[in-house]
Amino acid sequence: MKQVLEFLGVVALLQGGVGLVHELTGWLRGWGVVQGLDVLDGYEVYGSVALVVLSFALFAAADSRGPG
């Protein structure tokens, strides 16, 4: 279970980072999942920041599971 949480944390961190890079620089078009969601139209930065925060929560949850 710890490895699953860590994997999901890495995916969320990458997607949030890609979303922020795209919104701030315009690079990496089409790489992020946040830009593809019509629900977040106009709120892509907030969605990307939420993914980064979620990734840290997933890492903390994985760490609290203990070794193994």
> What is the per-residue pLDDT for 68?
60
Name the residue among 4, 26, 28 with its Cα closest to residue 18.
28
CA atoms within 13 A on the CB side of 2: 8
Q: How far apart are CA 20 and CA 29, in angstroms?
A: 11
Percent of the chain with pLDDT over 90: 78
Mean pLDDT of 5-11: 97
8 Å CB contact between 34 and 14: no
> What is the model's pTM?
0.89
